[in-house]
Homo-oligomer: A and B are copies of this chain.
Amino acid sequence: MSGKGSVVLAYSGGLDTSCILVWLKEQGYDVIAYLANVGQKEDFEEARKKALKLGARKVFIEDVSKEFVEEFVWPAIQSSALYEDRYLLGTSLARPCIARKQVEIAQKEGAKYVSHGATGKGNDQIRFELTCYSLAPEIKVIAPWRMPEFYNRFQGRNDLMEYAKRHGIPVPVTPKNPWSMDENLMHISYEAGILENPKNQAPPGLYTKTQDPAKAPNSPDILEIEFKKGIYETPAGTILYHAHLDIEAFTMDREVRKIKQGLGLKFAELVYTGFWHSPECEFVRHCIAKSQEHVEGKVRVSVFKGQVYILSRESPLSLYNEELVSMNVQGQYEPVDATGFININSLRLKEYHRLQSKVTAK
């Protein structure tokens, strides 16, 4: 046991967190390495050996895929949450799941510290640390990329390379990609390098999890997805998102859906900004889950050239009444009622017109 006590480090096996591992030991900490399996492509055993070789006292490789899907991805799908109307929140969702397990390990191992290799910019550090403080207020977070003694020493990749060589940390032989990736079973994202210039488009060779649509097969794949209050098989996020949206619109009252839509916007914001583990996000998740009680049924989708097309859907709990909709059957519906409906709604508009005329006349 070193002088300053134990720290649980979120370890990736890469150059950065390997250097951090060694540096933490230098600072007098006893390091426990932790690597979460959220479905990314990774040689976990290789990473374990590496961490031990670099001096980690223990290594935890934890498969949190199941809880990631059930407790994080699924509520997000239910919320139909897109950040800025576009992004599926893959990275934002994985972080609180990974950090939660890290806190558990720290508590189990009696470690007072946790550490991570997230940069001092952006939301990733926030997602990580708010999770820690929410679940274990007494814990201390060591964020090297925000500590002058660390970031002043390692001002660029060269400094890391040199430090690695000196401390027996294996150095990657291939030149680094000019971007960094974040991968999990839901998604993969890229950042940095030439991608930072919004004028540049994605370079060929970027696609790993998906295929460049231009090279995708020329025939579609057909899937059938069954929803039952969250029991389901897991295709990729985008497919699930579209299929869920379809079955939801088919089974949920439209006014409930409007209210839920507002809650979904809030949910996306909270997740993106790192507040998954907060009273307000817990509250919003509860409300959204409530809205899903009768969302069940089957959706057939076609996946073609990287896009999702809904083919058809069916549900025992549909609010869609084929008889009522049909142009040929009247059901309980009296056309004259629509006249009353329109007249009552127009009263207010007519009054407003009267007012506008007064204003204009002035």
Give the residue of B198, B307, B337 whose beta carbon is less than 8 angstroms from that of A339: B337
Query: Does the CB pair A351–B324 fall under 8 Å?
Result: yes
Alpha-carbon gap, A198 to B200, bound state (A): 42
In this complex, what residue of B is CB-closest to A201? B311
Check if A134 is an interface residue, CB within 8 A of chain B: yes
Q: Is A84's CB under 8 angstroms from B249's CB?
A: yes
CA–CA, A358 to B321, complex, Å?
13
Q: Which of A33-41, A48-56, A61-69, A261-269 contacts B (4 or more CB under 8 A)?
A: A261-269
Q: Which residues of B contact A280 (CB under 8 A)?
A: 253, 255-256, 258-259
Copies of the polypeptide in the assembly = 4
- A103: shortest Cβ distance to chain B, in Å? 12
Question: Which residues in chain A, 104-159, are within 8 Å of chain B measured between CB atoms?
Answer: 119-121, 125-126, 129-130, 133-135, 137, 143, 145-148, 151, 156
From the candidates B148, B245, B263, B278, name the one contacting A255 in the complex (CB within 8 A): B278
Shortest distance between the CB of A92 and any CB in chain B (Å): 14
A249 vs chain B, min Cβ distance (A)? 5
Q: List 27 A-B contacts (CB under 8 A).
A: A84-B245, A86-B245, A121-B327, A133-B346, A133-B350, A137-B354, A143-B338, A146-B336, A147-B335, A198-B313, A200-B312, A214-B219, A253-B278, A253-B352, A255-B278, A255-B280, A256-B279, A261-B265, A278-B352, A279-B352, A283-B291, A286-B290, A287-B287, A316-B358, A321-B354, A339-B340, A340-B340
Residues of A within 8 A of B (CB): 80, 84-86, 119-121, 125-126, 129-130, 133-135, 137, 143, 145-148, 151, 156, 192, 196-202, 213-214, 218-220, 245, 249-250, 253-263, 265-266, 269, 277-280, 283-284, 286-287, 290-291, 294, 300, 304-307, 309, 311-314, 316-322, 324-328, 332-355, 358-359
